[in-house]
Structure 1
């Protein structure tokens, strides 16, 4: 495992493992491009390597 997707009602973030712990790689508030982050969103897990 090298990345972890985290989510709250208004935030989405990606944590990346750096060998000794996780660091925030990206944190988005309210919107990601045209996607308005909200409570009703669904997320599906996949390995896209």
Structure 2
């Protein structure tokens, strides 16, 4: 029965903790300063040692 399976999953404490950990990690990741990518200029592409 799919309903019983879903109840088992949602009542599983480790599953709940895992979801909370993912939310925490996502929030932490979103709070970090965004690194700006170095813009490559045409002069960089023409570099010829």
Larger radius of gyration: 2
TM-score in terms of structure 2 length: 0.16
Which protein is richer in strand relative to its size?
1
Which protein is richer in helix relative to its size?
2
Higher relative contact order (CA 8 A, sep 6+): 1
